[in-house]
Amino acid sequence: MPFALKTSPLLWTRLVALAFTCVAFSMAALGGRFIDHTGAFCIFCWAFSFGGTLLVILVELFNPLTRAPLSWKNFHITFACYSFLLCMSASFIFPIYFLKDSIVVFAPSQLRDLRIVSSISSCVATLAYMNEVRLTKAYQGEVTGYMTTCPGLLKVLETFVACILFVFINDPVSYDQHHSVKYCMSVYCICFILSAFIILLCIGECTYLLPFPFPRFLFTHALLAVFLYLSAAMIWVIFNFVPRYGGHTERPHNCWSSEGLCSWDKDMLIAVLTGINFILYLIDLIYSIPLVLVST
């Protein structure tokens, strides 16, 4: 019997997420009139989550992947975690960029109501995906897939933070000012590729193809990422905020009059996100140490 049918709370949680993501992107699309790509990003978050959740429900109801080389539990908790992060991001971004403006400029009540419904639906979908992750997460002593464990969920967070870094560092391009800052971009790319590679290995159940033990690979990757992100964090701060190297310690005056985030704000946000990913990889390294000791 499919897993979702055995665990009714999980099935109902997915149905709630399916319904409210559908409402969120439908109401946002009807409310339209977006002046930049931010609204499209929010609609993508909801539509991506809706499509993936629908796929998960159909697969677990009809079970067409019984012979596919795929770790299904690793897949759906990975997707649920990404959907949670995407819907949570949209729940913050959409009201800030669109709901506030629709009220301030006294937009037609119908448009305002559609955006309010989208915002509320996004928050409910976020809670549903958070509950799905909680229901499918592995607990101590339980034998299950790697992605359902804390280190596996950390990989999802690490790649998600890296994707946000790519967005802010390329709009506008912030890494072409100095060769040392370009090093930071290479760090983000290398660590993202390796983390994504680990996720794909786990979902495809291909860890046995590695020429060395998988726990050792996890430890080496986490150790390398910690050193790389630590160096990137220091270099980014030095060459963007130290006056000796052309940076600015204080927020420029033109940032106060500009709409949205100015270049200095984005540089500061990149510095914060780099620090967050450094902490995530450090926690990942701590989790990897016992795995190496057990395997040896």
**Closest-CA residue to 47 (of 127, 138, 118, 141):** 118
Q: What is the pTM of this model?
A: 0.85
Q: What are the pLDDT digits (tens) for 14-58?
A: 999 999 999 999 988 886 666 567 788 889 999 999 999 998 888
Residue 3 confidence (pLDDT): 44
pLDDT at 102 over 60: no
Residue 14 confidence (pLDDT): 93
Alpha helical stretches, state H, the chain:
3-6, 8-31, 37-62, 72-94, 100-104, 109-136, 150-169, 179-203, 214-241, 254-257, 263-295
**Closest-CA residue to 246 (of 294, 181, 296, 162):** 181
- Place 76 in a pLDDT band, splitting at 50, 70 and 90: confident
Q: Mean pLDDT across the chain, nearest whole number? A: 82
pLDDT at 123 over 90: yes
Q: What are the pLDDT digits (tens) for 198-228?
A: 999 998 888 888 888 888 999 999 999 999 9
Torsion region of 72: left, alpha or beta (phi above 0 gives left; psi -120 to 50 gives alpha) = alpha
pLDDT at 1 over 60: no
Q: Which residues pair with 160 in a beta bridge?
A: none
Residue 105 confidence (pLDDT): 45
Residue 61 confidence (pLDDT): 80
Residue 36 confidence (pLDDT): 61
d(CA 254, CA 256): 5
Q: What are the pLDDT digits (tens) for 148-191?
A: 888 899 999 999 999 999 888 876 565 566 677 788 999 999 99
> For residues 2 and 84, which has the higher predicted lDDT (pLDDT)?
84
> For residues 290 and 296, which has the higher predicted lDDT (pLDDT)?
290
- Place 73 in a pLDDT band, splitting at 50, 70 and 90: confident
Alpha helical stretches, state H, 95-213:
100-104, 109-136, 150-169, 179-203
